[in-house]
Amino acid sequence: MYRTALPDERGRSASLLWVGEFLGTPTAYAELGGHSYADTGSAAPYVGIEFQRRETVAADNVALVFNTGGGAFTSIRTTATVTTGRVVLVGSVSSGAQTIGLHAKDTGVVELARGTSSVAAISYLGTSRFYVGAMFNARNPNAACEMMVLFNRGLSDDECLMLLNNPYAAFAPRRTARIYTFGQPAAGGATAVPVFRHHYVQQGIG
């Protein structure tokens, strides 16, 4: 399933959230979803940013694959291998920092892996597609997707961990909290005067 990517879905930095279930062994390099340039071919720079299963053929790991802006793509991978079960994936790509996170809900395994590739900006073409599922017909991720979210910015490690534990935090509004603190008592033992401070407390990603 795919459609043409909208202009605001082609950010210089980007992040992906994938929630679903792995149903068994996939074919090698099978896409779970992301940005592609076309539905034929398998050479650079057809990938913009995407999740792949079994990116290392010998192991059923998960990879975040992304375009480095120079007509080539690279990836960072999870160490954990998950063949079946409920999974939450988070991937983030920005200049000089990339992250992939995995939470295997059935086993409790949580992993956050990082990369340091030089990415001036994710490269997109006019035919760029945002898709869910395999990009090429010959590939089968053997997975069921419940939800996939695209962010047009990079996510911090704290945000990635928040989404791994609660993916629906992606839709929670950002809120502020009013916090009162007290200064030092005045000379002569007078009661300290409350000082109003307005602190920003992030309770969601959106």
Residues 110 and 203 in one domain: no
Residues 188 and 133 in one domain: no
More confident call, 58 vs 179: 58
Residues 158 and 133 in one domain: yes
Residues 154 and 182 in one domain: no
DSSP letters of 50-98? EEEESSSTTS--EEEEEE-SSS-EEEEE-SS--SEEEEEEEEEEETTEE
Residues 15 and 111 in one domain: yes
Q: How buried is 39 (Cβ within 10 angstroms: 0-12 exposed, 13-18 middle, 19+ buried)?
A: middle
- Listed residue (88, 94, 42) closest to 66, CA to CA: 94
On average, the pLDDT of the chain sits at 78
pLDDT in tens, 92-116: 998 878 999 999 999 999 999 998 7
Alpha-carbon gap, residue 191 to 202, rounded angstroms? 32
Residues 124 and 199 in one domain: no
Average pLDDT rounded to a whole number, residues 5-23: 86
Q: Give this prediction's pTM.
A: 0.79
What's the CATH code of the domain at 102? 2.60.120.200
pLDDT in tens, 115-139: 877 777 777 665 577 778 776 667 8
Residues 176 and 166 in one domain: no
Average pLDDT rounded to a whole number, residues 37-45: 49
